[in-house]
Amino acid sequence: MKVSGDWLTRAETQDVLALLAAPGHRALPVGGCVRNALIGAPVADVDIATDALPETVIGLARAAGLKAVPTGIAHGTVTVVAGGLPFEITTFRRDVETFGRHAAIAFSTRIEEDAARRDFTMNALYACADGTVIDPLGGLPDALARRLRFVGSAPDRIREDYLRILRFFRFTAWYGDPAEGPDAEGLAACAALADGIDGLSRERIGAEMKKLLSAPDPAPAIAAMAATGVLAHVLPGADARALPVLVHLEGDLPPRWLRRLAVLGGEGTAAALRLSRAEASDLEAIRTGIGDTQSAAALGWRQGIDRAVAVILARAALSGMPPPDDWQAEVLRGAAARFPVRAADLPDLSGPALGARLKELEARWLAAGLRLTKAQLLA
């Protein structure tokens, strides 16, 4: 079987593959680019596996006038930039010893050993320069069926790196078959080893959750996380029941992970996922908006379009009541509105009295649906 696409046939990819192949080394696109090409998903990055040692890769690239950066040379990874495009090139490896997110590795010349240390069978697929797929572990049927299975023993793969629990649910959301559901063996292993999540860095957990919640429909995967106890380790107190309602209400709107995170609830979410200050502020504003009664127009004016949309849809998902029929138009109207009164319009007031009067007029304006003119407010 062959894969194809611009990601493979473009000159930059072929030049990098030929660069390594010329001296007799193997150079094979691997992982996500092959998987996505097989299932018709977009290909963003092209990773390459090779039997050439990192020093050899650097020497060949620089001799060809290409930039070579030893981004992870201790683990065999060199980033080669061709035509402005980065290619992560990693030497075949085998694990000597594993401990958490770190492993003692040895370089290898055997593709089977390299494949055996990968996480899921659909990620252990390689391709030749002409697109011919190489399948050392029998992962091709899994990829075509959108069936996410761990390589070898699921518990063993998880113990090597507990982040793979979250990757299991993230990949299920993005690449799994919704009708089939998560792999039973993988699900059982994630449930049994969920305590291992507590030893992961919050930054790594947050990065995985953002990617998971950005999937077209993360609700089934999040529900599986809740059922296995994994969600409680990630977001204590979170409740996944409103998420499928929110996804349905979103319709054709672009997915927004923060909007979806808001309806999950939970305790100490910003710290649990190491959100940035801006992300934490957005989340707090959305959650506060869910609990008040501001109109769609008022939300659009106060919070801006993205936050207002998140508040209205989250309110509906959590309450079980549909949003107002004209809510989208009202949000846009509010976002474009301008409060008509300025301090200069109240020349007889200053200091706290001026601030109080402006606040009073603003409240009247909002209560009237942002429709009162300056003359009406000052009358």
Model pLDDT for residues 188-221, shown as the tens digit of each residue: 999 999 999 999 999 999 999 999 999 999 999 9
Coil/strand/helix, residue 20 = helix
| Res 66: pLDDT | 96
The parent domain of residue 108 ranges over: 1-145
Band (99; pLDDT cuts 50, 70, 90):
low
In a domain, residue 256? The reply is no
Q: Domain boundary residue among 123, 145, 167?
A: 145
**Listed residues 90, 122, 145: the one ending a domain:** 145
Q: How many domains does the chain have?
A: 2
Task: Quote the pLDDT of residue 268.
Answer: 94
Assigned domain for 209 exists: no
94 confidence band (pLDDT: 50, 70, 90):
confident
Q: Does residue 113 sit within a domain?
A: yes
Above pLDDT 90, what percent of the chain? 92
204 domain-assigned = no
Is the confidence at residue 103, as pLDDT, over 70? no
- State the Cα–Cα distance between residues 225 and 86, nearest whole angstrom: 34
Spatial separation of the C-alpha atoms in residues 163 and 199, rounded to whole Å: 10
Query: Rounded to whole angstroms, how far apart are CA atoms 116 and 124?
Result: 8
Q: Which band of pLDDT confidence, cut at 50, 70 and 90, is reported for residue 361?
A: very high
Question: Which helix (H) or strand (E) is 153 found in, with range?
Answer: none
**pLDDT at position 379:** 85
Query: Is 12 inside a domain boundary?
Result: yes
Asked whether residue 8 is assigned to any structural domain, the reply reads: yes
CA triple 91-95-98, angle to 5 deg:
130
CB-based contacts of 64, cutoff 8 Å, min separation 6 = 19
Worst-scoring range by mean pLDDT, 104-113, 333-342, 350-359, 365-374? 104-113
Q: Taking all residues of the chain, what is their mean pLDDT, rounded to a whole number?
A: 94
State the pLDDT confidence band at 136, using cuts at 50, 70 and 90.
very high
Distance CA 103, CA 306 (A): 42
Label residue 230 by pLDDT band (50, 70, 90). very high
Q: For position 65, which CATH number holds?
A: 3.30.460.10
What local confidence, expressed as pLDDT, does residue 100 receive?
Answer: 55
Label the pairing between strands 77-82 and 27-30.
unpaired
pLDDT > 70 fraction of the chain, expressed in percent and rounded: 98
Q: Checking phi first, is residue 194 left (phi over 0); if not, alpha (psi -120 to 50) or beta?
A: alpha
For residues 260 and 240, give the distance between their C-alpha atoms in angstroms, rounded to a whole number.
10
In tens, the pLDDT along 261-274 reads 999 999 999 999 99
The closest alpha carbon to 148, from 156, 157, 139, belongs to 139
Single residue among 128, 145, 162 that ends a domain in this structure: 145
The answer to whether residue 83 sits within a structural domain is yes
Token readout for 43 is 């290909």
Q: What is the pLDDT of residue 72?
A: 86
pLDDT in tens, 14-58: 999 999 999 999 999 999 999 999 999 999 999 999 999 999 999
- Enter the pTM of the model: 0.89
Cβ 88 vs Cβ 45: under 8 Å:
yes
